[in-house]
Amino acid sequence: MTAKKTLSHTLGFPRMGAHRELKLALEQHWKGDIDAAALEAVGADLRARHWVIQREAGLDFVTVGDFAFYDHVANQIQLLGCEPARFGFGGDEPVLSRYFAMARGVQVDAEHTCGLACNHGNTSEGSEGETALEMTKWFDTNYHYLVPEFSSTTQFKLASHRLFEEVDQALQAGHPVKAVLLGPLSFLWLGKEKEAGFDRFSLLEQLLPVYENILARLKAQGVQWVQIDEPILGLDLPDHWRHAFEPAYSRLARSAPPVLLATYFSPLQENLRLACQLPVAGLHVDAVRAPEELTGVADWLPSHKVLSVGIVDGRNIWRTDPDAALARLRPVADKHQGALWIAPSCSLLHVPYSLQAEATLDPEIKSWLAFAVEKLGELQTLKAVLNDDAASVQAALAEARSACAARRSSPRVHRADVALRLARTTADDDRRASAFPQRQAVQAERFALPLLPTTTIGSFPQTADIRAARAAFKRGQLDEASYRQKMQAEITLAVRKQEAIGLDVLVHGEAERNDMVEYFGEQLAGFTFTTNGWVQSYGSRCVKPPVIYGDVSRPAAMTVAWTTYAQSLTPLPMKGMLTGPITILQWSFVRDDQPRSSTAQQIAWAIRDEVLDLERAGIGIIQIDEPAIREGLPLRRAGWKAYLEWATRAFRVSASGVADRTQIHTHMCYSEFNDILPEIAAMDADVITIETSRSGMELLRGFGDFKYPNEIGPGVYDIHSPRVPSVHEMINLIQKAAGVVPIENLWVNPDCGLKTRGWPETEAALLNMMTATKLLRQKLAPNSQPKATEDS
């Protein structure tokens, strides 16, 4: 009797390269420094190297089709021949230039402001020409894909040879190939209708023949497997979408090589049996996000099918505990009669490339981590053990065991003082002393702000000069005193400009912050930073998330010196600026040894300490930014309530230590907030500033209907473009806002921080904003009588 052999594979690999070679090449190409052929050569070289790494780690296939010059969904749009007609492509333009036209728009490409994560959809827009495809978050990751556009005139045809060429490249290099495609249902689901009344689901019938064609081609080329990703099986789907899987896959199976249907990111739940019974040769499940479903899958999956278990976390950077993984895998191997494969839970696109480049990371913490390359090594170890060849991986196994044991018991991770403090918290810690109406009265008296108070969101233009000073200080080329002087000069400049513009509540400008999460992470205990831990956010943009490895606390004040310096320059109220606990959590790699909610509470207490220090130092208005609160929502609606409860509690804990007379602001941007308005209200900030201007204040209607109880500053101009909006435009927006929000609760401010803008347009836009506000103050003042005409 021969024991069955476990195989290993990966759902995808990071594209950028060990040193972000792809980013570099892309940006050179866009500048015109290298031509398309040179860019293609960089791509081919990266693929070749990544396949070698996969083979060297003993994977049984290389994965082909996960590479993209910008985004894999954009690749699929070209493969399926459904580039939107609005781009007016004639068909003879080079494929790559059409590709970048869709990705980046035909004219100008607008910038981001929000630092680290660039977490917004809708990031590109042309002032003329054709705007780029909309960009939005890939499920609950920080990767952004380009949104396919559909209408009744959309047609599909096999239109790009890129995938087949890449398959040839891999075959010629002698690799066994598993090609990967985004499945037809997920592809349609992730797109958007561009025509009123049209339902993209109706395109399925037309789309399937093209998939059949693609699969037949791949089969003829000699690929061994095709991995078809249908991550939407982990979402709450309407019935007609669920019911479409069976017939669609029956049809595809006819022409296809063996198909591995891949699901990931969330539990299959009501789709579990459906996924197990589809007419495909294998199923991949995410055993990190849904370990509880493994037994059910092993029960339901027919014995002739391959079961691929995503056992290594593709979304986080922790080393896999081999014993825990084996304990999970062994019963499945026994139960499932058919073949067993092991893999990362999802594509490794979402983790950095390799730890090899981390020369300065604390060696002990480093030993607790695994990036993409190391995760492939983990698969190799697990596979050897499962295949009764543990002897060949003895050293790797021992090293992993001792690192995981050390992490479990390390006092750097588990701190008694933090635990004690959290244990002492009471139910009241997340409640302000008085309800909003009382606070509002006290604050109105204290600050005596005019009707329609004006402010900004926090950051002012980060000039090349500022960035150079910060970098020099970091490298040790600028001493502390000179650095402080330089930053103080920037603060002074920002304060004087704000006074000249006439703003009511000032900010210090955030010149000292390179990023709104990193700045705090660097000063909090329990965080560490990599030097090369880049993860693709969109296109050539990468982010380097902090790593939260241990209990979080705040050893010393983080912002008080800068803020009080700024306050010392002016009699006007100076707003203290902090990043909120959920945004810090969302934009970091977080611990996997305790619930996210626990980490959020720890960060909340650290931020609360800072809030109280600011208050003690005389700062009367404090803003706690939470732009990422919505993106933490679980993929399944059933999980929303629990998340929102702990997330809003974390915010309130951070904000509620202050007296009634201290005014707490929060800021949110670039999400759909209408479906979580009660929870936003439950955060109980005295003032919320929020992005609204792009949608023509659509968002605000939600706030009006819901009767948002506290004060609110809807953004009256879009900071993502250098365009200076007119006084007239802003008057219109403020008036619209005044139609739905009681005027005495209304603030006036831009949409978001101004760090990516230059000073000239910033000053011009803010001046127009002030002019608009002043005109409206005269017009709208609740008790201003219309002036009687003196004489006639």
Residue positions annotated with a catalytic role: 720
- For 407, the enclosing helix (H) or strand (E) is helix 394-409
Stretch of residues binding ligand GLN (CB under 6 A), selected from 357-365, 452-460, 537-545, 588-596: 452-460
Q: By CB under 6 A, how many residues form the interface with ligand GLN?
A: 14
Strand ranges in 270-320 using DSSP code E only, listed in sequence order = 282-286, 306-312
Contact flag: residue 688 with Zn ion (CB under 5 A): no
Amino acid at 654: S
Please, which residues have CB within 8 angstroms of residue 268's CB and are 6 or more apart in sequence?
233, 234, 275, 285, 290, 293, 297
Amino acid at 354: S
Lookup result for tokens 């380009």: 146
Contact flag: residue 7 with Zn ion (CB under 5 A): no
If the CB atoms of residues 354 and 623 are measured against ligand GLN, the closer one turns out to be: 623
The residue among 711, 665, 667 whose CA lies nearest residue 692 is 667
Q: What is the chain's Cα-based Rg?
A: 27
If the CB atoms of residues 350 and 667 are measured against Zn ion, the closer one turns out to be: 667
Binding characters for Zn ion, 483-522, by CB under 5 A (x = yes): ----------------------------------------
**Using CB distances below 5 to 8 A depending on partner kind, what does residue 313 bind out of ligand GLN, Zn ion, none?**
none
Please, which residues have CB within 8 angstroms of residue 90's CB and are 6 or more apart in sequence?
none
If the CB atoms of residues 345 and 692 are measured against Zn ion, the closer one turns out to be: 692
SS3 760: helix
120 and 112 Cβ atoms separated by less than 8 Å: yes
SS3 362: coil
If the CB atoms of residues 381 and 462 are measured against ligand GLN, the closer one turns out to be: 462
Measure the CA–CA gap between 198 and 219, rounded to whole angstroms.
34
**Using CB distances below 5 to 8 A depending on partner kind, what does residue 625 bind out of ligand GLN, Zn ion, none?**
ligand GLN
Contact flag: residue 462 with ligand GLN (CB under 6 A): no
540 and 26 Cβ atoms separated by less than 8 Å: yes
Stretch of residues binding Zn ion (CB under 5 A), selected from 24-32, 33-41, 95-103, 750-758: 750-758
Query: What does residue 577 show for φ and ψ, rounded to 5 degrees?
Result: -120, 120
Burial of 714 (0-12, 13-18, 19+ CB in 10 A): buried
Least distance from C-beta 711 to ligand GLN, angstroms? 18
Stretch of residues binding ligand GLN (CB under 6 A), selected from 216-224, 387-395, 456-464, 493-501: 456-464
Least distance from C-beta 612 to ligand GLN, angstroms? 20
Member of 169, 266, 380, 459 binding ligand GLN (CB under 6 A): 459
Least distance from C-beta 757 to ligand GLN, angstroms? 11
Measure the CA–CA gap between 221 and 469, rounded to whole angstroms.
55
**Using CB distances below 5 to 8 A depending on partner kind, what does residue 509 bind out of ligand GLN, Zn ion, none?**
none
Residue 148 DSSP class: P
DSSP for 110-126 reads: PPP-SGGG---S-----
Q: Which of residues 545-604 bind ligand GLN (CB under 6 A)?
A: 577
Q: Which of residues 132-191 bind ligand GLN (CB under 6 A)?
A: none
Beta bridge partners of 624: 578, 666
Q: Which of residues 509-528 bind ligand GLN (CB under 6 A)?
A: 510, 516
Q: Which of residues 609-638 bind Zn ion (CB under 5 A)?
A: 627
Contact flag: residue 752 with ligand GLN (CB under 6 A): yes
Sequence length of the chain is 792
**Using CB distances below 5 to 8 A depending on partner kind, what does residue 344 bind out of Zn ion, ligand GLN, none?**
none
Q: Which residue is nearest to ligand GLN (CB)?
A: 753
Measure the CA–CA gap between 144 and 540, rounded to whole angstroms.
11
Beta bridge partners of 548: 527
Binding characters for Zn ion, 644-683, by CB under 5 A (x = yes): -------------------------x--------------
If the CB atoms of residues 96 and 114 are measured against Zn ion, the closer one turns out to be: 114
Cα maximum dimension of the chain: 110
What helix, strand, coil percent values describe the chain, rounded to 5?
45, 15, 40
Member of 297, 365, 457, 552 binding ligand GLN (CB under 6 A): 457
**Using CB distances below 5 to 8 A depending on partner kind, what does residue 237 bind out of Zn ion, ligand GLN, none?**
none
Contact flag: residue 293 with ligand GLN (CB under 6 A): no
Q: Which of residues 65-124 bind ligand GLN (CB under 6 A)?
A: 114
Lookup result for tokens 């904003």: 769
Alpha helices in 254-287 (DSSP H): 272-277
Beta bridge partners of 313: none
Nearest-5° Cα angle at 462, 457 to 466: 135
588 and 543 Cβ atoms separated by less than 8 Å: no
| Token duo for residue 553 | 């606390």
Contact flag: residue 752 with Zn ion (CB under 5 A): yes
Least distance from C-beta 724 to ligand GLN, angstroms? 19
Amino acid at 164: F
Q: Which of residues 649-668 bind ligand GLN (CB under 6 A)?
A: 667
Contact flag: residue 458 with ligand GLN (CB under 6 A): yes
If the CB atoms of residues 10 and 142 are measured against ligand GLN, the closer one turns out to be: 142
371 and 18 Cβ atoms separated by less than 8 Å: no
Contact flag: residue 753 with ligand GLN (CB under 6 A): yes
Q: By CB under 5 A, how many residues form the interface with Zn ion?
A: 3
If the CB atoms of residues 43 and 627 are measured against Zn ion, the closer one turns out to be: 627
Least distance from C-beta 693 to ligand GLN, angstroms? 14
134 and 155 Cβ atoms separated by less than 8 Å: no
Contact flag: residue 577 with Zn ion (CB under 5 A): no
If the CB atoms of residues 348 and 457 are measured against ligand GLN, the closer one turns out to be: 457
If the CB atoms of residues 83 and 625 are measured against ligand GLN, the closer one turns out to be: 625
Answer positive or negative: Cα dihedral of 731, 732, 737, 739: positive
Residue 427 DSSP class: G
Least distance from C-beta 121 to Zn ion, angstroms? 13
Least distance from C-beta 497 to ligand GLN, angstroms? 15
**Using CB distances below 5 to 8 A depending on partner kind, what does residue 516 bind out of ligand GLN, Zn ion, none?**
ligand GLN
Residues that bind ligand GLN (CB under 6 A): 114, 457-459, 510, 516, 577, 625, 627, 667, 669, 752-753, 755
**Interface positions with Zn ion (CB under 5 A):** 627, 669, 752
